[in-house]
Homo-oligomer: A and B are copies of this chain.
Amino acid sequence: MTTTIKDVARAASVSIATVSHVLNGTHYVSPKLCERVWDAVKETGYCRNPVAHGLRTGRTNLLGLMVADLAALSFPSIVRGAQDVAAAAGYSLVLLRPEGPGAQHLLAMARRGMVEGLVLDVAGIPASDVAALSESGIPTVAMSSNAEHWDIDVVVTDEAGGVCLAVEHLVELGHQRIGFVGGLPDSQTAAARYAGYRQALARHGLAYDPAIVAEAPLTRYGGYRGAKSVLAAPSRPTALIAADDSLAAGALLALQDAGLRVPDDVSLVGCDDVRVADLMTPTLTSLALPWYEMGAQAAKMLLERVSGYENGPGRTITLAPKLVRRQSTAAPST
């Protein structure tokens, strides 16, 4: 019922081989026939069946995007980045879930050619699964919050470097006592951010004081409790870094509860969620993670693999967060 290459060939009185050649420009065809073919295409409203094309050529123009947690804040930006570059190359994204009843089918899909390659957000995916995937031979690029040792392309966010940025910003403003409210150390991201804090302190010759460091679950209440404990320190910090914007929201509340003004009495830096940071009062100076860029770079590297343009060993590219200055940071009141 839908029109095929045969219909076009018939309408143009040529062979299907010729139709294919003019459509794909894969071989010289005389102008006369070309014109007849194009006319026939227009007339019949033909467009090629991508499934048949995919079977024949092995190219489906589909890239798999595998992320465990669609509710993660990073998800929309990663998708946008990946889709923007994929679309520019004529590719679409198919959303794959790493677990659940469909996992087998999806892996099969990847292995057997429904998607040409995989962009993988390793967050929430068991390392063994990632390893298996990376060994499966299907082109894969991983997005991660820390460097990995698989021999595949990976784009990693420099979490530690981001926190360094925050510390530097505060130091430049004149702060010397900078507190830290981080996530529970069971998450790699949280650990990396904490490491960045320690590193930056050392780099600037600032003493590390456990009394102004707190670890808490990544919730508003966690931030509230964490900040409260930090404020109870014998000598309270003039600035606070919260490793997440939920933590920051809670910390802000704790500061207000304690009668402290932000940024007049205490400066506050958050992390992650641009939207929340923008809507808080005061608006929050915050670390913006390069999610869009990660998606874009991952797709770019993957496209280089599936096109055969690149076939060397796994590459790693590191992307830095950006510090977005808003109202919540200022010089310390002396």
Contact: B220 with A278, CB < 8 Å? yes
Alpha-carbon separation in the docked complex, A249 to B284 (Å): 13
Q: Which residues of B contact A249 (CB under 8 A)?
A: 279-281
Alpha-carbon separation in the docked complex, A220 to B96 (Å): 36
Q: Which residues of B contact A256 (CB under 8 A)?
A: 281
Q: Which residues of B contact A281 (CB under 8 A)?
A: 249, 252-253, 256, 281
Check A312 for interface membership: any CB of B closer than 8 A.
Answer: no
Contact: B76 with A70, CB < 8 Å? yes
Q: From the candidates B50, B75, B88, B106, name the one contacting A76 in the complex (CB within 8 A).
A: B75
Check A109 for interface membership: any CB of B closer than 8 A.
Answer: yes
Max chain B C-beta neighbours (<10 A), residue from A75, A80, A253, A279: A279
Total number of A residues with any Cβ neighbor in B under 8 Å? 55
Q: From the candidates B70, B109, B279, name the one contacting A83 in the complex (CB within 8 A).
A: B70
Contact: B279 with A113, CB < 8 Å? no
Q: From the candidates B60, B70, B246, name the one contacting A51 in the complex (CB within 8 A).
A: B60
Q: Which residues of B contact A113 (CB under 8 A)?
A: 2, 49-51
Alpha-carbon separation in the docked complex, A264 to B320 (Å): 44
Check A149 for interface membership: any CB of B closer than 8 A.
Answer: no
Q: Mark A267-308, 1 if CB is under 8 A from B, else 0.
A: 000000101101111000000000000000000000000000
Contact: A47 with B111, CB < 8 Å? yes
Q: Which residues of B contact A92 (CB under 8 A)?
A: 94-96, 102, 106, 109
Q: How far is the CB of A219 from chain B (nearest CB, A)?
A: 9
Q: How far is the CB of A270 from chain B (nearest CB, A)?
A: 10
Q: Which residues of B contact A50 (CB under 8 A)?
A: 108-109, 112-114
Q: Which residues of B contact A279 (CB under 8 A)?
A: 220, 245-246, 249, 276, 280
Alpha-carbon separation in the docked complex, A54 to B51 (Å): 7
Check A79 for interface membership: any CB of B closer than 8 A.
Answer: yes
Q: From the candidates B2, B87, B109, name the one contacting A101 in the complex (CB within 8 A).
A: B87
Alpha-carbon separation in the docked complex, A273 to B55 (Å): 43
Q: How far is the CB of A181 from chain B (nearest CB, A)?
A: 15
Check A258 for interface membership: any CB of B closer than 8 A.
Answer: no
Check A325 for interface membership: any CB of B closer than 8 A.
Answer: no
Alpha-carbon separation in the docked complex, A106 to B92 (Å): 8
Contact: B87 with A102, CB < 8 Å? yes
Check A198 for interface membership: any CB of B closer than 8 A.
Answer: no
Q: From the candidates B70, B94, B97, name the one contacting A94 in the complex (CB within 8 A).
A: B94
Q: Which residues of B contact A47 (CB under 8 A)?
A: 108, 111-112
Q: How far is the CB of A221 from chain B (nearest CB, A)?
A: 11
Alpha-carbon separation in the docked complex, A108 to B108 (Å): 25
> Can you spell out 23 A-B residue pairs with CB atoms less than 8 angstroms apart?
A2-B113, A49-B113, A50-B108, A50-B112, A50-B114, A51-B60, A51-B112, A52-B55, A54-B114, A55-B55, A70-B79, A70-B80, A71-B76, A79-B95, A87-B102, A92-B95, A92-B106, A92-B109, A252-B281, A273-B275, A275-B275, A276-B276, A281-B281
* Beyond A92-B106, A220-B278, A280-B280, 4 additional pairs, beta carbon < 8 A: A49-B55, A71-B80, A246-B279, A276-B279
